């Protein structure tokens, strides 16, 4: 009986510069469609914004162009020639690289590329211009879809622990997050690592349940991969 093959969704690890450029392309396609695809100059400006960016950077044209050329070679970015246009423009190719993602999933992935690890609550607030999530639960459900993406996880849950009271999420385009349960191994969760010292019991319980839900999505993904191998 033939074995079902599972192709990883992320075949090429992005540098910090590439992740920033890719995130900017996704963001501007949604928020400024009249100015998309983007010129190199516009991308430099977008990368160096001081809002919705972490860390704040000062990329020059050469840095952004190198990131674009690298991602072009791996099919993440396309160069566009506009008839009558004087400058080359660029667009992302995420619809082909990770097919099936809709606006909610793209909004979360975009914000993770632009700002790094964040909580579900932070993501809900910061993605308002990209997609209006009804509540934090809607964000968590969408994150679970990204963790359980059919061709491989796109996002990883970083459980709460010492110095971090709430679970965070991070994209996997830099590889698996150091210190977090591997996306390819069964994660463990220590409820006692969290204490409701500064929050109500209900808030604490909600955070624990949300963390468990996201970690269960990672376990589910592992079980799918194991089943495919068998």
User: Does 77 share its domain with 139?
Assistant: no
Give residue 203's pLDDT: 55
The DSSP bridge partners found for residue 58 are: none
81 with 174, same domain: the answer is no
CA distance linking residue 155 with residue 28, whole number of Å: 21
Q: Are residues 48 and 88 in the same domain?
A: yes
Q: Which residue has the tokens 């999505």?
A: 217
In terms of DSSP H, where are the helices of 148-200?
none
In-domain check, residue 6: no
Examine the domain organization and report whether 92 and 120 are in the same domain. no
The model's pTM = 0.78
Per-residue pLDDT of the chain (230 residues; tens, 9 = 90+): 343 344 578 888 999 999 999 999 999 999 999 999 999 999 999 999 999 999 999 999 999 999 999 999 999 999 998 776 678 999 999 999 999 999 999 999 999 999 999 999 999 999 999 999 999 999 999 999 999 999 999 999 998 877 778 889 999 999 987 655 544 433 333 333 333 334 456 555 655 666 676 666 666 655 565 565 55
Helices 136-147 + 201-229 axis angle, to 10: 20
228 within 8 A of 5, measured Cβ to Cβ: yes
| Boundary (domain end) residue, out of 50, 69, 97 | 97
Examine residue 23 and state whether it is found in any structural domain, yes or no. yes
CATH of the domain at 56: 1.10.10.10
Q: What angle do CA 189, 193, 194 make, to 5 degrees?
A: 105
Encoded tokens for 212: 């468990």
120 and 200 inside one domain: yes
- Write phi, then psi, for 30 (nearest 5 degrees): -80, -45
162 lies in a domain?
A: yes
- DSSP letters spanning 78-125: EEE--TT-SS-EEEE-HHHHSTT--HHHHHHHHHHHHH-SB-HHHHHH
221 in the same domain as 128: yes
Closest CA to 179 of 156, 196, 212, 211: 156
User: How many domains would you assign to the chain?
Assistant: 2
Domain that holds residue 30: 16-97
| Residues 137, 206 within the same domain | yes
Question: What pLDDT digit, counting tens, does each position of 150-172 carry?
Answer: 999 999 999 887 777 888 999 99
How far does Cα 192 stand from its chain's mean position?
A: 28
pLDDT of residue 176: 85
Are 219 and 127 in the same domain?
yes
Give residue 229's pLDDT.
53
Residues 144 and 41 in one domain: no
Tokens of 189: 């969760």
Considering the domain architecture, whether residues 84 and 123 belong to the same structural domain is answered as no
Residues 144 and 205 in one domain: yes
Do both 36 and 74 map to the same domain?
yes
Q: Is 64 a member of any domain?
A: yes
What is the pLDDT at residue 209?
62
Phi (first) and psi of residue 9, to 5 degrees: -75, -30
Residue 177's region, left for phi above 0, alpha for psi from -120 to 50, else beta, is beta
CB 156 within 8 A of CB 215: no
**Predicted pLDDT at 107:** 98
């Amino acid at each position: 009986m033939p074995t079902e093959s599972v192709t990883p969704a992320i075949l090429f690890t992005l540098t910090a510069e590439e992740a920033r450029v890719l995130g900017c392309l996704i963001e501007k396609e949604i928020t400024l469609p009249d100015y998309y695809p983007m010129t190199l100059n516009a991308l430099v400006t977008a990368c160096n914004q001081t809002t919705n960016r972490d860390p704040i950077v000062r990329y020059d044209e050469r840095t952004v162009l190198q990131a674009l050329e690298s991602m072009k070679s791996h099919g993440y970015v396309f160069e566009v020639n506009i008839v009558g246009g004087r400058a080359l423009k660029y667009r992302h190719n995420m619809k082909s690289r990770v097919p099936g993602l809709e606006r909610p999933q793209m909004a979360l992935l975009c914000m993770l590329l632009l700002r790094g690890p964040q909580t579900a609550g932070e993501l809900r607030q910061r993605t308002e211009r990209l997609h209006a999530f009804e509540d934090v639960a809607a964000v968590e459900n969408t994150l679970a879809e990204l963790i359980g993406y059919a061709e491989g996880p796109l996002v990883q849950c970083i459980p709460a622990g010492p110095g971090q009271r709430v679970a965070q999420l991070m994209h996997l385009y830099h590889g698996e997050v150091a210190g977090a349960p591997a996306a390819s191994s069964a994660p463990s969760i220590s409820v006692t690592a969290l204490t409701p010292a500064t929050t109500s019991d209900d808030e604490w319980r909600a955070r624990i349940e949300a963390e468990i839900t996201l970690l269960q999505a990672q376990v589910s993904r592992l079980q799918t991969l194991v089943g495919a191998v068998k």
